[in-house]
Amino acid sequence: MADIKINLLPWREEVRQEKKDEFLRVLVGVVVFAGVIVFGVDRFYNAEIDSQKSRNAFISKEVKVLESRIQEINSLQQNRNELLSRMQVIQELQGNRPIIVRIFDELARKLSDRVFFQSLTLKGSVMAVKGVAESNNRISSQLRNFDESLWFTNPNVTAINADKNFGPQASVFSLSVTQSTPAKEEE
């Protein structure tokens, strides 16, 4: 019998080549599919990042608008406070305006006979009075008049000097008295 030799090698080679081609097709398909998924995920996250950036930019813009409004409100509040303090000063001045008139009126009413004021100085609520009196008794009378007044308290003589230029018993005196405002009912 003649030896028949069947060569299966080319057939196996074809099957192997087909499996290899199929593997490469599947591998290329998987790589393409994975690439499409990675590209899609990348596009999705980039879109989310862009969206978040636009929201952050909007918030930053609104924060700047609000900060400018806050500065404007603070400026208006400061102007309001300044105006209120000015109004308060004006009201105090308006309220105290008659007081100085009343003080001068009270000085004239409480001036003793034969006593003359040369100068009046008011520092805070303490009034320094310099004047000339015919005698020391007139100075005592002036102190009593100040003590009886509702507008003056704590009269105190600081100096008495004889001065013959104004008369034989004349004295130049300095005294201090505290100015007080009586209660509204007593006015």
Q: What is the CATH number of the domain that holds 151?
A: 3.30.70.2830
Number of other CB atoms surrounding residue 126 within 10 Å: 13
> Do the domain assignments include residue 25?
no
Residues whose CB falls within 8 Å of the CB of residue 116, separated by 6 or more in sequence, listed in order: 131, 132, 133
Confidence class of residue 7 from pLDDT cuts 50, 70 and 90?
Answer: low
pLDDT for the residue numbered 132: 94
d(CA 144, CA 158): 15
Q: Which of 47-56, 99-108, 148-157 has the highest mean pLDDT?
A: 47-56
d(CA 20, CA 26): 10
- The number of domains in the chain is 1
> Do the domain assignments include residue 38?
no
DSSP 8-state class, residue 182: P
> Do the domain assignments include residue 19?
no
d(CA 161, CA 143): 16
> Do the domain assignments include residue 44?
no
Q: Looking at the chain, how many residues does it have?
A: 187
> Do the domain assignments include residue 101?
no
> Do the domain assignments include residue 165?
yes
> Do the domain assignments include residue 5?
no
Q: Which range marks the domain in which residue 139 is found?
A: 110-179
pLDDT for the residue numbered 186: 44
> Do the domain assignments include residue 80?
no
- The yes-or-no verdict on residue 37 having pLDDT over 70 is yes
